Amino acid sequence: MRFRAHLASASAVLALAVWLSSGTMAPYAATFAYPVVTAPCGYLVNVDHPHHEGVFQMLDGQPPNRWQHSLVLRRLLFPLWAYPSMKVGGFEAGGFVASLLCQVTALWLLALHLRRRWGEPAAIAGTWLLAVYPGITYWAALPYAYAAIVPASIGLVILLARIDERRGWRQMIGPAAAMGLLFTAYDLAPYFGLAAVLLLVRRRRFADLPVALVGMALAPVGSLLLLKLVFHAPLSNGNTAIYGMVLRAYLHPPTVGVWLRSLADFPSVLLANFVFSNLVFLPVLFLAVVAITRQRPTLVEGSVMAAVGAVFLFNNLAPPYAGRWQMRGDFIPRLYQPIFVALLIYGARAIGGAGALPRPKRVLLMALTALTVLGNASVAFGPVARVPWAGTIYQAFYQHSPPGTLEQNLTRYGRRPLGFCRRF
C-alpha cells in the first residue's frame, strides 16, 4: 500500500510538471532565442518543429514534398507510438498526450524494476527522483522524438539487466531485439549497445555477443530498409554527417601540437558536461552518495557509465575539424543525458539501503536526497513558479541561445500551459 501511494503521488506530480512545462513554457522552445509562435493560441515550439512533424506526415501517407526535408525520419518509434493520438488530436495536442503517457509508463516500469531487484525503499526513492527530474520536462511537452529519450533509456537499462541475468541465445534474443527496437526512438545505440557489449565481455560471455549484436541490429536495419524501400527517403543527411566528420578527424589528424592545444580546456569541458548533462542536482547527488557509501556500481550501471564516457571521449578528444556543428565542448551537454539512468538507479538503491549505514551518514544521505528532489522540482516547475535559476540550468543543458532567453520569452509570451489559449 505504501509503495502504491508513493507511485500514484509521484505519477500525479510528474504529469503536473509536464503539463506546466507545455504551451509557452516548453523549455526546449522557450530557451531558444527565436521560438516559433503557433496559431491560434500563441504557444511556443522549437524551430526544428517541421522536421519532427515531417515524420508524422510521412507515416500519414502525405505527399513526399511535405516531409522529405526532415532530418529525423530515422527516429520512428515515438511517432509510431504517438500516431493514433496525433491522428485524433492533431500533431501538437495528440503528441503531448502520447508523450505524457510515455513518461508515466516509464516511471511505473522503473519503480517496478527497482522494487523487484532492490526492494521497496529503493523503488520509492527512485520514483521520486524520476518524477521531478527536469530532464523529462525539458522535452516532454513537445511532440518530438526527444520525448522518448528518458523512457527509452529506462527501458534499455531494464533490458540490459535482463541480458545480464539470462544465458543462451533463446533467452538473449528477445531482450536484445527489444533493445534494437528502442534504438529506433533516438540515437541511443552508441550508449546502450556499447554497454551491452561491455557487459557481456566483462562476464566473459563471448558466445552470446553475436546473438546480442544481431538482435540489437534487427529493428534499426529494418527501419532503414523501410525508409529506403518504402518511403524512398535518404539514409544520410546533415544531421548524420557530423559523426563521419568526427571519425575523419581521427583518420586525418593535424600535428600533435595543434591537437594537444585543442584539448587545453578538456578538464573544464568534462566537468561541465557531467554536471549539466543531467541538470546539476542528480549528478551532485551521485557524487555525494559515492563519497558517503563507497558503494560500487553494479555491472549494468558501470557498463552504461563507461559507454557514455566512451562516447564523450570520442567526441571531445577528437582532433580539430571544420564545420558549424561541433560535437565537442560544453555547449551541448544534453548529448550525454542517457547516463542519468545509471546515476539514478545507483542513488536509489544506495538510498534504499541507507538503514545499514551509521546514523550520521544515514541522516546526511536522506537530507541530500530531499534536497535533490526539491532542487530538481525547482527546475521542473521553474518556468511557472518563476524560479530564477531554472532558466540558467536549462540553458546550460543545451546552450543554443544566450543566457536569460527563457525569462525573456516568458515575459514576452506569457506563462500559459496547453489549454490556456490567448488568440493571436
Q: What is the pLDDT along the chain (424 residues), one digit of tens a residue?
A: 899 999 999 999 999 999 999 999 999 999 999 999 999 999 999 999 999 999 999 999 999 999 999 999 999 999 999 999 999 999 999 999 999 999 999 999 999 999 999 999 999 999 999 999 999 999 999 999 999 999 999 999 999 999 999 888 788 999 999 999 999 999 999 999 999 999 999 999 999 999 999 999 999 999 999 999 999 988 777 677 788 889 999 999 999 999 999 999 999 999 999 999 999 999 999 999 999 999 999 999 999 999 999 999 999 999 999 877 888 999 999 999 999 999 999 999 999 999 999 999 999 999 999 999 999 999 999 999 999 999 999 999 999 999 999 999 999 999 999 999 976 5
Q: Which amino acid, one-letter code, is at 216?
A: M
In a domain, 421, yes or no: no
| Cα 34 to Cα 42: distance, rounded to the nearest angstrom | 14
| Residue 78 identity (one-letter amino acid) | F
Domain that holds residue 325: 2-413
Q: What is the phi/psi pair of residue 295, to 5°?
A: -80, 135
Residue type, 300: V
Helical spans, DSSP H, in 119-190: 120-131, 134-137, 149-165, 169-183
Does any domain span residue 423? no
Pick from 308, 254, 267, 316: which is nearest to 286 by CA?
308
On whether residue 353 sits in a domain, the answer given is yes
Asked whether residue 419 is domain-assigned, the answer is no
What grid cell was written down for 38? 503557433
Q: What is the CA radius of gyration of the chain?
A: 21
User: Looking at the domain assignment, is residue 236 inside a domain?
Assistant: yes
DSSP code for 339: G
Element holding 36 (H helix, E strand):
strand 36-37
Look up residue 149 and give its three cell numbers.
529519450
Residue 420 within a domain: no
Q: CA 131, CA 49: separation in Å to the nearest integer?
A: 26
Q: Which amino acid is at 32?
A: F
Amino acid at 276: F
Whole-prediction pTM: 0.96
For 193, 220, 237, the CA distances from 317, given in Å and listed in that order, are 21, 28, 24
45 neighbors 153 (Cβ within 8 angstroms): no
- Is 377 contained in some domain? yes
Burial of 214 (0-12, 13-18, 19+ CB in 10 A): middle
For residue 56, being part of any structural domain is answered with yes
Tell me how many domains the chain contains.
1
Cβ atoms of 184 and 220 closer than 8 Å: yes
